[in-house]
């Protein structure tokens, strides 16, 4: 059965864009209009570190966000809104796999400011993120028009398929 002919349990919105480009505002507007749950790795810092970002915890924060998203999907939350940068496909792979195998519609939403605002302006908006990091993030962007662009990406799959985290949290919903 093709993806567009399936019956869906809910929707997962995956926001994409550089820091400072309005993802959180889009997430908030979606939440106000549709309810559901916003999942962001920044929430890890808000909950566990008094909103103080520390790069030493980036991996832990992203792992927390992936587990939080999976838990929301398992509870049947609709929609689940992923509010992270998600520039390369491999960053989105866990979320897409979790949602796809749990019969969620997946929609990608890209911020216009990622492409329309100079990096220097984004650096001013996010004073704790250096221009070199923003540039590297922008260069890592890979297009994704639909879930198959992510799920069939060989590099994305190879990054995660044998990961301990994927097996531990059963992203693919295989019993």
How many domains does one find in the chain? Answer: 1
As given in the structure block, the two tokens for residue 99 are 């949602």
Does residue 171 belong to any structural domain of this protein? no
Does residue 55 belong to any structural domain of this protein? yes
Checking if the pLDDT of 127 tops 70, the result is: yes
Among candidate residues 98, 37, 41, the one with its CA nearest the CA of residue 64: 41
Q: Which domain holds residue 55?
A: 38-77
Does residue 68 belong to any structural domain of this protein? yes
Residue 1 pLDDT class (50, 70, 90 cuts): very low
Does residue 108 belong to any structural domain of this protein? no
Residue 87 pLDDT class (50, 70, 90 cuts): very high
Does residue 18 belong to any structural domain of this protein? no
DSSP secondary structure letter of residue 175:
-
- 51-84 b/e with 16+ CB inside 10 Å = b? eebeeebeeebbbbbbbbbbebbeeebbbbbbbb
- Specify which residues 109 forms β-bridges with: 15
- Specify which residues 92 forms β-bridges with: none
> Tens of pLDDT along 56-74?
777 788 888 999 999 999 9
According to the model, what pLDDT value does residue 13 have?
98
Does residue 63 belong to any structural domain of this protein? yes
Does residue 107 belong to any structural domain of this protein? no
As given in the structure block, the two tokens for residue 165 are 């985290």
Lowest mean pLDDT among 28-37, 137-146, 154-163: 154-163
Give the CA distances from residue 21 to residues 102, 125, 129, 146, in Å, rounded to whole numbers and listed in that order: 30, 9, 13, 22
As given in the structure block, the two tokens for residue 69 are 């998203």
Rg over alpha carbons for the chain, rounded to the nearest Å, is: 16
Does residue 61 belong to any structural domain of this protein? yes
């Amino acid at each position: 059965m093709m993806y567009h002919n399936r019956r869906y349990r809910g929707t997962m919105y995956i926001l994409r864009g550089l820091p400072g480009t309005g993802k959180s505002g889009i997430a908030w507007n979606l939440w106000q209009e549709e309810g559901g749950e916003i999942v962001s790795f920044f929430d890890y810092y808000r909950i566990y570190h008094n909103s103080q970002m520390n790069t030493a915890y980036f991996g832990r924060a992203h792992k927390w966000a992936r587990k939080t998203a999976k838990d929301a999907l398992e509870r049947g939350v609709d929609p689940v809104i992923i509010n992270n940068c998600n520039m390369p496909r491999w960053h989105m792979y866990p979320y897409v796999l979790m949602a796809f195998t749990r019969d969620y519609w997946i929609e990608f939403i890209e911020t216009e400011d990622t492409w329309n605002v100079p990096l220097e302006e984004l650096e001013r908006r996010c004073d704790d993120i250096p221009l070199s990091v923003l540039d590297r993030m922008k260069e890592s962007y890979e297009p994704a028009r639909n879930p198959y662009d992510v799920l069939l990406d060989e590099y994305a799959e190879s990054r995660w398929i044998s990961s301990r985290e994927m097996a531990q949290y059963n992203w693919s919903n295989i019993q």
